């Protein structure tokens, strides 16, 4: 692993820090300078990693206007696949400079390849781990080729049945590559809460014995923060400089201030999750005094019986604990007790 690579930590059982990926995708909107700006802004917003995608329109589809190549529903309704990928792809000639800039400022860099030529390109570039998109999970020949490189793989599971996920996981592991993490994912753009099924995170972890996270295409950060509470080790979220900059991914991407707020909330959630620990913190110790205890609420003479009229369970906690209530009722004071005195055993008989 490279000097900046934090991804390896997700395979450590000791690691408690969620790995947060800023997905650039098409948000550069055709500008290399904006792509570099996104990398720097992602670092400032607290991302551990920035991710690009490595494909060309030709490696993805055919330049055809036939009906099969038209998108008829969703965010990109009416688009032709080839023209959509022309708008969205990150030119390969940029990617070495993007990787170098990431290394310079100390943020991890990796990519989603979509075919073998992209894998070969990224191998020459020295990329140290890979992302498999949900749309590639059934491309088993591609998974075999990628797994043979021996690099860690993060694989999204959107649209896949459990059987398809199992087949993909086995394909990778049978090559001998066991450095695999899965991302629960709803491959709708944007995703809605009803389709997120975050309970899958724990089930995927238990079923496949791998680190699991969330590839989040929903709006806002509720799903991401909730996922961390449910055991997610990785959060991937689309990142843009502004949703006003038109491109195919802008509508479901986070702007820098929103991303930073999500990162801060995730880090706060990690601290709140903490560990199994029933010891009492120093702050809790200071608060214990405001529990209830038994106090004299009237002046009580020596020899007078303690009753519900002259003693009560009230705050603060300087007197006997409430569990002693039945033991002290009907006992007698052995000395005068002033109203407002915390009750103790040395003030009563028995």
Q: Read off the pLDDT of residues 47-89 as tens digits, 9 standing for 90 and up.
A: 999 999 999 999 999 999 899 998 877 676 778 889 888 888 9
Residue 267 and residue 154 in one domain: yes
Residue 78 and residue 146 in one domain: yes
Residue with tokens 């709006």: 219
Residue 202 and residue 330 in one domain: no
Does residue 48 lie in a domain region? yes
Residue 100 and residue 55 in one domain: yes
Q: How many domains does the chain have?
A: 2
Ranking 81-95, 181-195, 237-251, 259-273 by mean pLDDT, the lowest is 181-195
Can you tell me the mean pLDDT for 151-177?
Answer: 96
344: DSSP letter? -
Binning pLDDT at 50, 70 and 90, where does residue 8 land?
A: confident
Residue from 185, 91, 95 nearest 137 by CA: 185
Residue 198 and residue 91 in one domain: yes
The Cα 303–Cα 334 span in angstroms is 6
Residue 294 and residue 240 in one domain: no
pLDDT of residue 249: 86
Residue 183 and residue 265 in one domain: yes
Residue after which a domain boundary falls, among 239, 273, 307: 273
In DSSP terms, which residues pair with 234 in a beta bridge?
A: 19
Whether pLDDT at 14 is above 80? no
- Sign for the pseudo-dihedral over CA of 165, 171, 172, 173: positive
Residue 201 and residue 340 in one domain: no
Residue 293 and residue 254 in one domain: no
Does residue 61 lie in a domain region? yes
Residue 134 and residue 67 in one domain: yes
Q: Is 253 exposed, middle or buried (0-12, 13-18, 19+ CB in 10 A)?
A: buried
Q: State the chain's mean pLDDT as an integer.
A: 92
* pTM for the predicted model, two decimal places: 0.84
> Quick one: tokens of 6?
């934090």
239: DSSP letter? B
Residue after which a domain boundary falls, among 248, 273, 298: 273
Residue 302 and residue 269 in one domain: no
Range of the domain at 261: 7-273
């Amino acid at each position: 692993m490279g000097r900046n690579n934090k991804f390896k930590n997700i395979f450590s059982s000791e690691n408690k820090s969620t790995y947060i990926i800023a997905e650039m995708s098409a948000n550069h909107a055709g500008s290399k300078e904006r792509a570099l700006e996104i990398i720097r802004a992602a670092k400032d917003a607290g991302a551990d990693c920035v991710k690009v995608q490595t494909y060309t329109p030709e490696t993805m589809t055919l330049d055809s206007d036939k009906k099969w190549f038209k998108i008829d529903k969703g965010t990109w309704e009416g688009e032709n696949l080839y023209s959509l990928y022309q708008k969205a792809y990150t030119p390969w000639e940029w990617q070495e400079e993007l990787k170098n800039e990431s290394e310079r400022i100390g943020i991890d860099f990796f990519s989603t390849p979509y075919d073998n030529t992209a894998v070969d390109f990224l191998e020459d570039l020295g990329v140290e781990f890979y992302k498999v998109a949900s749309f590639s999970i059934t491309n088993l020949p591609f998974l075999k080729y990628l797994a043979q490189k021996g690099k860690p793989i993060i694989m999204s599971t959107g649209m896949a049945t459990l059987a398809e996920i199992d087949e993909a996981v086995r394909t990778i592991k049978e090559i001998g590559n066991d450095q695999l993490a899965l991302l629960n994912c709803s491959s709708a753009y944007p995703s809605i809460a009803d389709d997120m099924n975050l309970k899958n995170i724990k089930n995927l972890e238990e079923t496949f014995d791998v680190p699991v996270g969330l590839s989040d295409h929903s709006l806002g950060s509720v799903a991401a923060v909730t996922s961390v509470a449910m055991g997610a080790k990785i959060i991937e979220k689309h990142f843009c400089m502004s949703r006003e900059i038109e491109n195919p991914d802008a509508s479901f991407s986070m702007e820098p201030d929103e991303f930073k707020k999500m990162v801060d909330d995730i880090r706060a959630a990690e601290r709140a999750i903490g560990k199994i620990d029933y010891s009492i913190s120093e702050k809790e110790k200071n608060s214990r005094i405001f529990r209830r205890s038994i106090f004299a609420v009237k002046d009580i003479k020596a020899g007078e019986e303690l009753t519900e009229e002259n003693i009560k369970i009230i705050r603060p906690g300087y007197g006997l604990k409430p569990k002693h209530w039945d033991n002290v009722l009907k006992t007698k004071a052995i000395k005068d007790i002033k109203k407002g005195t915390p009750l103790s055993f040395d003030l009563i008989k028995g």
